[in-house]
Amino acid sequence: MFFIQKITSADQLPVNPHRFQSTILFFKLVLLSMLLISLCVLSDDDLLDNEVITVTSGRYLSPISSVLAPTITLTRDAIIQSQANSVLELVKRLPGISVAQSGGTGQQSSLFIRGTESRHVLVLIDGIRLNQANISGASDLSQIPLSLIQKIEYIRGARSALYGSDAIGGVINLITYPEENDDYLGSARVALGSHDTQQYDLSAQLGKGMTKVNGAIGLNRSQGTDAVANMPDAGSIRQPDKDGYQNRFAWLGIAHQFNQHLSGNIRAFGIQNRNKYDGFFSYVDPTALIDERALESSNLDGRMYWQTDRYAIQLIASHNQTKDYNYNDRNGRKDITASLDDARQNQIQLINTWRYGYGSINLGGEWQQQITEQTPSDSNTKQRSSLNNRAVYMTTQYQLEKWLVETALRHDNQSQFGDHLTYHFGVSYPILENYKVGVLYGHAYKAPNLMQLYSQYGGNINLKPEQSKQAEINLEGEFEQFSFRVTAYKNNITELIDYQTEQFINIGRAEISGGELEFKLESDYADQVLTLAYLNAKDKNKGNRLVRRAPKQLDYQLTKVIDRTEVTLNYHVEDKREDMTFDNDSFTNKKVTLPINQQFDLALSHEITPSFIIRGRISDIFNQQRETVYGYQPTGRSFSIGGEYKF
């Protein structure tokens, strides 16, 4: 286990005068741009229409048809109809995503977008960076309750020019704000399933006129399965037990419309997760088996909006605290054998959007503070570290006759590594009536995490950010009943951080290329979605494939509505992938090949009345799901049945 040494506050670090001058110069340029833009003659054209609207792609509301980067939006109805048990199970069906999970539902997971590392995926909750107490720097979607999520926006490719660090592979924005519903005040959902799985959710919205109050609570629990039962020896201790999980959440939001232009809201929510896993014996107390994790997250944020036909400004302030415990249930969380990562994140965002006759311009700034206190398993002494980041950015989108052009530029100033500039550029052109071709090029980066910087076991404060340069070309076709998108991309990543010679250093290089095909057909018979993905992700230094990434993937979904019954069939298959494991005989790591992983799911829902719907699902019908991390088995075939009542 790695530990963080106590360091001086980032505000007390010495200031580089050249770095300071470059930051001031950049801010002056941005302020000048804002002044020039405010003098432009703006039209009353409304950018938005009845199309699906996304906010993640450009940090402002825009029709999904005007977004150049490949973007997918999953609505609340689509989430409920999928009857998925977790966020991870839902998003793994999306193009470009590959998942590795150490067991079944609720177990630790890694998510790869287009072959990049799991730490290269930026996860947002309502546009706010997810705060992970685990200092590894990678987001674990298995710890976020699916019942909390109202909408998911997923965008592939470099997005650091908008969001800063982490957005190399892509961005996943989990939206918890419920949409207004004039037909019902709320809903109650119950579902029961295999392995004593239970799910209970209750949501309601109150208020008339200018003030709305929304609330939701939920509980999801399961006894689970043994994560390593009947699997080959992966070098870990055999623990024949059930590795279950439980997660609970509560959400409360208040929104008020002050006048036709000004509105605001405040929101608070909390998450409590517990899960068992196949762990390890503490070296402090050899009788204590560390096999339970508890994650507690509390979130508070407030937003103010001012909007006219031509201009919009948004101010967001947020605070989050996440505590991540690993412990033995018999000894408890306060025992010396337990460990705690306590992370706090404060953030302020200011976003300005101007709309004019041929496009829009977005100017924003943000400040972020991260504070981590770690209590290692062999000590009761807290070890504290902190980082500050300030940034300004500008995005533009404009129509030049038939050309649609998108640009973005961002400047970050971080308390550890200083200044960093990122950018991206995209253009699309309609080559025929129903076809258009697009080209995108961008730069992205990943800042070193706290463990890599300050750990007493190899920490290196001289680490540089990991760098990515990527290009993409795509062809889209849009017709009355079907649409398609073909994409080819290439991504070169340098300065990858690796642990060598007892220290973290910038040494790794990766070369990733691939292609994606997305096809949608809507007809009177059924709705169908087919996605194919090819990936060639290699370690450029060693020439090996990157582990746990499937080189080929196929997803197919068929949805059929018969009177008041909806039937959905999902098929997911991934090619063989490579992994590494520890060889107890040679005391070295060895390469292993994981088998083809495929899964058929069948979900049905029937509307008894407009207010009452029953649902049922069979997951992994033919029990063909295989491990995605060597030595850890998935849940396998499972069943669930439940209902929803709207009131």
234-286 pLDDT tens trace: 445 667 788 899 999 999 999 999 999 999 999 999 999 999 988 888 878 88
Residue 367 scores a pLDDT above 50: yes
Residue 545 scores a pLDDT above 70: yes
Tell me how far apart the alpha carbons of residues 165 and 159 are, in angstroms, rounded to a whole number: 9
pLDDT, residue 404, reads 94
Answer whether residue 468 is part of any domain.
yes
3-state secondary structure of 118: helix
388-418 pLDDT tens trace: 999 999 999 998 889 999 999 999 999 988 8
588-613 pLDDT tens trace: 888 899 999 999 999 999 999 999 99
Number of domains in the chain: 1
- Element at 36 (helix H, strand E): helix 17-38
Cα torsion at 169, 431, 527, 622 (round to 10°)? Answer: -40
Tell me how far apart the alpha carbons of residues 628 and 147 are, in angstroms, rounded to a whole number: 25
Question: 533 is in which domain, residue-wise?
Answer: 10-646
Strand runs labelled E in 479-594: 482-500, 503-522, 527-539, 552-562, 565-574, 577-583, 588-594
**Alpha-helical regions (H) of 40-120:** 76-82, 87-91
Distance of CA 545 to the CA centre of its chain: 24
Name the least confident of 6-10, 140-144, 338-342, 548-552. Answer: 6-10
Q: What are phi and psi of 494, to 5 degrees?
A: -125, 170
Answer whether residue 4 is part of any domain.
no
Answer whether residue 555 is part of any domain.
yes
Residue 138 scores a pLDDT above 60: yes
Number of alpha carbons in the 13 Å side-chain half-sphere of residue 37: 22
pLDDT, residue 5, reads 33
- Look up residue 479 and give its amino acid: F
pTM: 0.88
Give the CATH number for residue 90.
2.40.170.20
Tell me how far apart the alpha carbons of residues 82 and 104 are, in angstroms, rounded to a whole number: 18
Answer whether residue 2 is part of any domain.
no
Average pLDDT over residues 515-542: 94
Tell me how far apart the alpha carbons of residues 242 and 84 are, in angstroms, rounded to a whole number: 21
Average pLDDT over residues 116-132: 90
Answer whether residue 3 is part of any domain.
no
Answer whether residue 150 is part of any domain.
yes
- Element at 419 (helix H, strand E): strand 418-432
Chain mean pLDDT for the chain: 86
pLDDT band at 59 (very low <50, low <70, confident <90, very high): low
SS3 annotation, 299-350: EEEEEEEEECCCEEEEEEEEEEEEEEEEECCCCCCCCCCCEEEEEEEEEEEE
* Encoded tokens for 611: 């207010």
Answer whether residue 1 is part of any domain.
no
Residue 13 scores a pLDDT above 60: no
429-487 pLDDT tens trace: 999 999 999 999 999 999 988 778 877 778 888 999 999 999 999 999 999 999 999 99
